[in-house]
């Protein structure tokens, strides 16, 4: 047996006298208080309790059937219905507020005591509204004999009287037991009496004891006391089985006695030792006591005693043998039989059940069982003639294993259906409210539905009547979906307002559908392009948004709810009976694509849905990014976590943000990218009220890590959360998300590095290593190495080097695989955009590098800051630090290979890399560079250099212009061709190669000549200068003196000149160089040399030769010019 | 400073709105605003909030202090205290006035709040006036007045220094004439 437990109390009413009672079946606890409200709780944990306002102040409450009788300050005993709280007539009128009520088990006889000193008995027609006068002060309490013969009453005048119910004046007994006061509120005791269910004993709390009087002779049999209780006992109540008595004192003690043994079973203490103003025993078999105090708080004690029916018989025997009731059993056998009435009945029940099963009757307990029991009861009631009815007594039903009730289907984002004004749905798109009138279930025209869109550009607000009694709604930016439950004769209906519909009249936007009879809608969902409907036949019907029936799928079980987002559909079903009060559900997420579900299903099979212990599902849906998200009734928000298959992770404990115990958050949506959850704070309830319109609050996601408040915890949390988001973004892999992805990556790195630094500073090297192993890329590890080296943790740095190497290898593999994939992709569809080509990645890479550096700086700054602060605190340290800073300099020099990031890549290097590489391996690259530098030429650069040279040439040309005018024309021609060369690319090389051994075979060579020609006049030009007359003779049109015009002709002639002359001019042309380029810097020459070195040795040799022979050639030149 | 100018300053106070449209960030000179997501609360300057409200683009959310309970508390405190108490908002009167005039239906218990804020204002102004009177009567030379809001200071500022000047002049002349009289007396 579970230990008895007193649960924490909860608020029920304002401060003041509060009363409590159970409904006959023990399912609900009803309280009333000085705020004039009656509340109906379904157990202590019921957050969705009903509240009925009856008056300014209510002082007494009893339940009978489905009615609640309340004594109110307007001197009435009113009846209200349990469910709706609607008034059900006035039972008794007093001239002062009633103080206590009692009702017979059958509910026919109602007795009330009031401050006007009268007791009124409202009963069946034969003794209607009798007034019992006799008390000389306000009545404290009344108690009805279970046999319906007597009535016990207590009053502020200190007396306790036993009345004969049939009459108005005959008093069977009267004792003066209590201290006298003059008003109900001033009385120190409430003197709530109780009859044992047998009716043979009446129990009266007197002082710190309970007096038990026997029936008929009204003799005091004995007193029950407990040494732990010294205060006045004011309430006594008997357990439904009659074995136990519970009493409470004015100082909050609760005592339970075993009537048979007179021993104390338990003693409990009210946590605040407040006066208890109401105490009741659960009339069902449940061993539970409920109580209220004068502060309006209400609580229960569970498992008060072990309720077991076998020992009960034993107990009866014990009772007889121990002879606390000798007069009863010996004197009146019949009464004795009646004492055991309930037990007998129980036995009968059992035997009947047994017989029934033996005879093989249908196992339909309801009819048979009650019928027989009723018959039995009739027999019994003959013995007690005053019992006016034949209704069954509240014999506790045999205790069976209580199975948890499977959660009923719901719509995510709705408030409960019994509310008059409720939300049918509140989601990211808008709000659908349903307004009912209390009787709209009957009158179909009264209800209405209002749709409000958050974004008014989606659709204007809608308001329409609700004649079809829709109870379920789903809303997307494309459609509003309404569905109703089936009623008699009326099938379940589906109605869709398709906003995006066009053409025809306005009526075309709506379509309706009746479900087949026997099928009922339980949940609806609206996705993009489809509408889903779950029915109680465990089927899922899919429609297109315009109403084409597309699929009928089978759900894995009883559907709890369905939700949709874009083309995703989530189905939550019951998958079995949960253990120990838990729900057992499964979840499935499908992609309802355009062509019959093409593409990857996020959750193709029903997998178990995680819930907190003993909770139920409160919300299910998707984040804005399309990841499944749920919230359970304990406020835990969970998100799908694909990292380990189909697992879930907790992203928020919303209860952490609530102030009160009964405050809850009502989830609306979540955004992973912003890392927050949108919800509404509901004070004192689970659901937001319709009026005033609540405000959405935004809670940041927070993974509940241990020690989340410490710096370490925070960093770990940030790290984990960011990588979670990264996962989602990677999965979605949309183009525009690259930027966001980089941002997240950066934040992960940042958090990692900080975590690493934290571990380093705490001298937790092993942890630091662990952190590094979790780092996303080796670059980050590189940073960490640098940091470790700075802290002179060489061993750690060494280890990290290994980690970095391993990571590098891994990345390499990854990249190769990606490359392959990409190749395949390219091959398959190379008309698609060249996504992520080399240069793009290059940039990104540089960017990330930049970021890393930034981060490093930041880290350093942070460190410095810390250091400085420490120094400022201590002047000695300051001096030491100065010294140390010098030291660190030297060490950093010493450690230069370690401090220098070995993976660092120089920014200037721009190699054409392969495509599709996400992270470029710097280490490898640097190696590659050193290997390949003599061979691999950055081709792209060449034209650039060319241009520079050209520019230089131009300058020089303009300088030369002044001195030798004759050179200008070819100069300009080279300029023009130079530009061409830039475009013509590599052919230049050959041109330059040849330019010294200039063969002027066709007119093109001079045009293709480059820098070299520009610097020095070519052999042709020299020849032309010398043989101008000849050329002019051959080409008379060239008189104008334009040398450029002459050049083609000259070239033709030069071609024909014999080889020796050609050679001479060639030598001349070569020899001229040093002289003409005297003022030009040697650097450029070197550059030229360097540039062309491997391929053009000949040329460079020529140049060297030329420079070696410079003197000679200059001499030659001057000689030639003299010639 | 004019009260219009103070209102202008007050309009920079942040206010929470629930927009019914979706829009990217607005890059304004005074800072970035938004992004706006339909149905989600966002903090923006008051002037923008009122403008959007007038165009029916949003719902204003009453600031936290604009609550009957809180204001009653503040009022009580102000009543009990001899000195000025800290106001929840530097421009409480203006903000209330602007919000209530542009969107009374967005603020729960608008009428009560209006009354309460006016009461608080009256309390403070009367406190200010009485302390000014006391100050003058006691012929003090300086006084500290903490936690006054801009508008409150401005309610006495244009007049008070001027009045002091006049007083000073009068007292000076009275003193001077006294002096001259005495000197005359001596002469005589």
Task: For chain B, give every domain's residue range.
Answer: 3-157
**CATH architecture of the region B3-157:** 3-Layer(aba) Sandwich (3.40)
Residue A374 has pLDDT above 70, yes or no: no
Identify the contact set of chain B against chain A, taking CB-CB distances under 8 A: 18, 20-22, 38-41, 59, 61, 108
Please tell me the predicted confidence (pLDDT) of residue A189: 86
On average, the pLDDT of chain A sits at: 72
Interface test with chain A among B16, B18, B19, B20, by most A beta carbons within 10 Å: B20
Find how far residue A263's CA is from the centre of its chain. Answer: 53
Higher pLDDT: A496 or A1089? It is: A496
**Least confidently predicted of A125-134, A383-392, A613-622, A990-999:** A383-392
- Strand A264-269 to strand A276-281: parallel, antiparallel, or no bridges (unpaired)? unpaired
Higher pLDDT: A380 or B59? It is: B59
Mean pLDDT confidence for A675-690: 87
Phi then psi dihedrals of residue A24, to 5 deg: -60, -35
User: Closest residue of B to A461, CA-based?
Assistant: B20
Please tell me the predicted confidence (pLDDT) of residue A578: 78
A698 contacts in chain B (CB < 8 Å): 40-41
Please tell me the predicted confidence (pLDDT) of residue A857: 62
Interface test with chain B among A666, A668, A669, A695, by most B beta carbons within 10 Å: A695
Higher pLDDT: A426 or A831? It is: A426
* Cis amide bond preceding B35, omega within 30: yes
Task: Check if the beta carbon of residue A13 is closer than 8 Å to that of residue A70.
Answer: no
Residue B177 has pLDDT above 50, yes or no: yes
The Cα of A477 is separated from the nearest Cα of chain B by a number of Å equal to 12
The Cα of B29 is separated from the nearest Cα of chain A by a number of Å equal to 25
Q: Is the CB of B41 less than 8 angstroms away from the CB of A695? A: yes
Residue A239 has pLDDT above 50, yes or no: yes
Mean pLDDT confidence for A669-679: 88
Residue A1094 has pLDDT above 60, yes or no: no
Residue A398 has pLDDT above 60, yes or no: no
Both tokens of A850, joined, read 């930049």
Task: Check if the beta carbon of residue A409 is closer than 8 Å to that of residue A435.
Answer: no
Q: How far apart are CA A26 and CA A43, in angstroms?
A: 9
**Which of A587, A595, A581 has the alpha carbon at shortest distance from A551?**
A595
The total of other beta-carbon atoms located within 10 Å of residue A930's CB is: 9
In the structure, what pLDDT confidence band is assigned to residue A518 with cuts at 50, 70 and 90? confident
**Which of A222, A225, A261, A219 has the alpha carbon at shortest distance from A243?**
A261
Interface test with chain A among B39, B56, B68, by most A beta carbons within 10 Å: B39
User: Closest residue of B to A426, CA-based?
Assistant: B39
* The pTM of the whole model exceeds 0.95: no
Please tell me the predicted confidence (pLDDT) of residue A603: 83
Please tell me the predicted confidence (pLDDT) of residue A621: 92
Mean pLDDT confidence for A866-882: 52
What does the domain layout of chain A look like in residue ranges?
A: 312-383, 407-609, 726-826+838-932, 943-1122
Both tokens of A374, joined, read 């009723």
Instruction: Please give the angle made by the CA atoms of A1094, A1097 and A1102, to the nearest 5 degrees.
Output: 150
In the structure, what pLDDT confidence band is assigned to residue B178 with cuts at 50, 70 and 90? low
User: Closest residue of B to A428, CA-based?
Assistant: B39
**Least confidently predicted of A54-63, A603-612, A930-939, A946-955:** A930-939
Q: How far apart are CA A240 and CA A394, in angstroms?
A: 8
Please tell me the predicted confidence (pLDDT) of residue A1035: 64
Please tell me the predicted confidence (pLDDT) of residue A507: 60
In the structure, what pLDDT confidence band is assigned to residue A524 with cuts at 50, 70 and 90? very high
Higher pLDDT: B68 or A1119? It is: B68
**Which of A812, A808, A788 has the alpha carbon at shortest distance from A798?**
A788
Q: At what angle do helices A778-790 and A838-873 cross, to 10 degrees?
A: 20
Residue A324 has pLDDT above 70, yes or no: no
pLDDT digits (tens, 9 = 90+) for A760-802: 888 888 888 888 888 877 888 888 888 888 888 888 888 888 8
Please tell me the predicted confidence (pLDDT) of residue A402: 54
**Least confidently predicted of A254-263, A560-569, A934-943:** A934-943
Task: Check if the beta carbon of residue A19 is closer than 8 Å to that of residue A60.
Answer: yes
Q: Is the CB of A453 less than 8 angstroms away from the CB of B21? A: no
Q: How far apart are CA A183 and CA A733, in angstroms?
A: 78
Residue A412 has pLDDT above 70, yes or no: yes
Please tell me the predicted confidence (pLDDT) of residue A401: 52
Residue A880 has pLDDT above 60, yes or no: no
User: Each residue of A1079-1092: b (16+ CB within 10 Å) or e?
Assistant: ebeeebbeebeebb
Phi then psi dihedrals of residue A53, to 5 deg: -90, 125
Mean pLDDT confidence for B142-161: 84
Both tokens of A397, joined, read 């039903």
**Least confidently predicted of A495-504, A993-1002, A1106-1115, B103-112:** A993-1002
Both tokens of B47, joined, read 């002037």
Query: Which of B38, B61, B108 is closest, CB to CB, to A455?
Result: B38
Q: Which helix (H) or strand (E) holds A313?
A: helix A310-322
In the structure, what pLDDT confidence band is assigned to residue A851 with cuts at 50, 70 and 90? low
Q: How far apart are CA A210 and CA A233, in angstroms?
A: 8
């Amino acid at each position: 047996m579970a230990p008895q437990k007193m649960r924490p109390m909860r608020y029920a009413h304002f401060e003041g006298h509060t009363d409590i009672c159970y409904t006959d079946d023990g399912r609900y606890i009803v309280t009333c208080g000085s705020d004039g409200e009656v509340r109906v709780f379904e157990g202590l944990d019921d957050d969705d309790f009903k509240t009925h306002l009856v008056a300014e102040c209510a002082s007494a409450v009893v339940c009978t059937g489905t009615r609640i009788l309340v004594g109110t300050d307007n001197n009435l005993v009113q009846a209200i219905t349990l469910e709706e709280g609607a008034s059900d007539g006035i039972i008794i009128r007093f001239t002062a507020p009633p103080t206590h009520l009692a009702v017979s088990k059958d509910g026919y006889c109602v007795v009330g005591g009031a401050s006007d000193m009268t007791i009124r008995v409202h009963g069946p027609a034969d003794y209607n509204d009798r007034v019992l006068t006799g008390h000389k002060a306000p009545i404290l309490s009344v108690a009805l004999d279970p046999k319906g013969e007597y009535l016990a009453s207590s009053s502020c005048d200190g007396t306790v009287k036993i009345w004969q119910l049939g009459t108005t004046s005959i008093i069977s007994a009267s004792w003066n037991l209590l201290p006298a006061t003059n008003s109900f509120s001033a009385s120190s005791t409430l003197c709530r009496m109780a009859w044992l269910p047998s009716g043979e004993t009446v129990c009266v709390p007197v002082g710190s004891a309970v007096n038990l009087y026997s029936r008929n002779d009204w003799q005091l049999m004995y007193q029950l006391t407990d040494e732990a209780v010294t205060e006045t006992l004011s309430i006594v109540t008997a357990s439904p089985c009659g074995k136990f008595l519970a009493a409470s004192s004015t100082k909050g003690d609760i005592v339970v006695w075993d009537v048979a043994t007179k021993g104390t079973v338990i003693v409990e203490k009210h946590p605040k030792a407040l006066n208890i103003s109401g105490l009741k025993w659960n009339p069902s078999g449940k061993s539970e006591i409920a109580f209220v105090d004068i502060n309006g708080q209400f609580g229960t004690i569970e498992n008060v005693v072990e309720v077991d029916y076998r020992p009960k018989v034993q107990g009866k025997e014990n009772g007889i043998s121990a002879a606390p009731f000798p007069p009863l059993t010996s004197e009146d056998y019949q009464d004795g039989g009646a004492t055991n009435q309930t037990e007998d009945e129980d036995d009968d029940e059992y035997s009947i059940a047994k017989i029934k099963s033996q005879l093989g009757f249908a196992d339909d307990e309801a009819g048979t069982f009650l019928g027989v029991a009723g018959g039995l009861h009739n027999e019994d009631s003959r013995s007690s003639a005053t019992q006016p009815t034949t209704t069954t007594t509240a014999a506790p039903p045999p205790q069976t294993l209580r199975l948890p009730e499977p959660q009923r289907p719901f719509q995510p984002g709705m408030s409960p259906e019994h509310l008059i004004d409720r939300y049918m749905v509140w989601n990211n798109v808008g709000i659908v409210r349903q307004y009912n009138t209390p009787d709209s279930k009957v009158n179909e025209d009264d209800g209405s539905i209002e749709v409000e869109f958050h974004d008014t550009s989606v659709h204007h607000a809608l308001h329409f009547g609700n004649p079809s009694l829709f109870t379920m709604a789903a809303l997307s930016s494309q459609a509003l979906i309404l569905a109703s439950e089936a009623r008699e004769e009326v099938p379940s209906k589906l109605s869709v307002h398709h906003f995006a519909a066009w053409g025809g009249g306005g009526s075309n936007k709506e379509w309706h559908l009746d479900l087949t009879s026997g099928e009922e809608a339980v949940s609806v969902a609206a996705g993009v392009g489809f509408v889903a409907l779950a029915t109680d036949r465990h089927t899922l019907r899919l429609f297109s948004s315009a109403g084409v029936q597309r699929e009928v799928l089978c759900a894995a079980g009883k559907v709890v709810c369905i939700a949709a987002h874009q083309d995703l559909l989530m189905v939550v079903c019951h998958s079995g009976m949960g253990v120990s009060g838990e729900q057992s559900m499964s979840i499935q997420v499908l992609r309802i694509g355009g062509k019959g579900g093409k593409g990857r299903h996020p959750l193709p099979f029903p997998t178990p849905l995680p819930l907190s212990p003993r909770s139920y599902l409160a919300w299910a849906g998707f984040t804005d990014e399309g990841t499944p998200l749920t919230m359970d009734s304990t406020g835990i928000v969970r998100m799908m976590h694909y990292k380990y298959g189909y697992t879930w992770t907790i992203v928020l404990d919303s209860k952490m943000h609530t102030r009160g115990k009964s405050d809850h958050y009502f989830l609306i949506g979540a955004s992973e990218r912003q890392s927050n959850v949108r919800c509404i704070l509901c004070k004192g309830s689970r659901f937001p009220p319709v009026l005033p319109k609540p405000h959405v609050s935004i809670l940041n996601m927070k993974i509940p890590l241990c020690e989340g408040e410490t710096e370490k915890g925070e960093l770990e949390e940030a790290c984990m959360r960011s990588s979670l988001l990264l996962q989602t973004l990677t999965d979605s892999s949309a183009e525009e998300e690259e930027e966001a992805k980089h941002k997240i990556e950066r934040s992960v790195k940042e958090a990692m590095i900080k975590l690493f630094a934290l571990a380093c500073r705490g001298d937790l090297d092993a942890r630091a290593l662990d952190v590094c192993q979790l780092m996303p890329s080796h670059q980050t590890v590189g940073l960490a190495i640098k940091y470790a080296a700075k802290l002179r943790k060489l061993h750690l740095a060494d280890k990290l080097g290994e980690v970095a190497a391993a990571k590098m290898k891994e990345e390499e593999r990854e990249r190769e695989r990606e490359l392959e994939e990409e190749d395949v992709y390219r091959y398959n569809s190379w008309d698609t955009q060249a996504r992520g080509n080399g240069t793009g990645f290059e940039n990104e890479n540089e960017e990330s590098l930049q970021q890393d550096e930034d981060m490093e700086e930041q880290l350093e700054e942070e460190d410095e800051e810390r250091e400085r602060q420490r120094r400022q605190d201590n002047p000695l340290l300051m001096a030491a630090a100065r010294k140390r800073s010098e030291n660190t300099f030297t060490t950093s020099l010493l450690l230069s290979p370690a401090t220098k990031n070995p993976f660092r890549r120089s920014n200037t290097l721009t190699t054409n890399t392969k495509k599709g590489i996400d992270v470029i391996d710097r280490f490898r690259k640097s190696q590659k560079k050193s290997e390949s530098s003599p061979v691999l030429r950055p081709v792209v650069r060449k034209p650039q250099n060319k241009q520079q040279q050209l520019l230089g040439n131009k300058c020089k040309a303009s300088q030369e212009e002044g001195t030798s005018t004759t050179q200008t024309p070819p100069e300009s021609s080279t300029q023009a061709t130079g530009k061409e060369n830039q475009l013509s690319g590599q052919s230049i090389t050959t041109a330059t190669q040849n330019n010294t051994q200039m063969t002027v075979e066709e007119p093109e060579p001079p045009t293709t000549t480059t820098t070299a020609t520009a610097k020095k006049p070519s052999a042709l030009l020299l020849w032309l200068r010398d043989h101008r007359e000849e050329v002019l003779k051959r080409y008379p049109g060239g008189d104008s003196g334009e040398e450029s015009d002459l050049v083609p002709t000259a070239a033709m002639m030069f071609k024909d000149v014999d080889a020796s002359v050609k050679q001479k001019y060639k030598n001349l042309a070569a020899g001229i160089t040093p002289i003409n380029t005297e003022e030009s810097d040697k650097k450029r020459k070197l550059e030229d040399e360097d540039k062309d070195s491997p391929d053009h040795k000949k040329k460079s040799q020529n140049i060297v030769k030329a420079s070696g022979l410079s003197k000679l050639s200059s001499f030659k030149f001057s000689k030639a010019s003299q010639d | 400073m004019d009260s219009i100018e103070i209102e202008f300053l007050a309009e920079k106070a942040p206010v929470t709105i629930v927009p019914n449209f979706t829009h990217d960030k607005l890059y304004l000179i005074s800072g970035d605003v938004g992004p706006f997501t339909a149905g989600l609360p966002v903090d923006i300057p008051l002037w923008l909030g009122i403008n959007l409200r007038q165009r029916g683009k949003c719902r204003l959310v009453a600031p936290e202090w604009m609550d009957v309970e809180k204001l009653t508390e503040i009022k009580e405190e102000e009543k009990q205290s001899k000195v000025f108490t800290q106001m929840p908002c530097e421009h409480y009167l203006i903000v209330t006035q602007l919000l209530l005039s542009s969107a009374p239906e967005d603020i729960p218990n608008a009428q009560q709040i209006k009354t309460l804020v006016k009461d608080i204002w009256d309390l403070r102004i009367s406190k200010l006036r009485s302390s000014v009177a006391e100050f003058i009567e006691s012929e003090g030379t300086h006084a500290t007045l903490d936690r006054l809001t801009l508008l409150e200071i401005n309610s006495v500022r244009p007049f008070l220094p001027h009045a002091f000047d006049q007083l000073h002049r009068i007292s000076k002349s009275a003193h001077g004439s006294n002096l001259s009289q005495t000197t005359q007396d001596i002469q005589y």
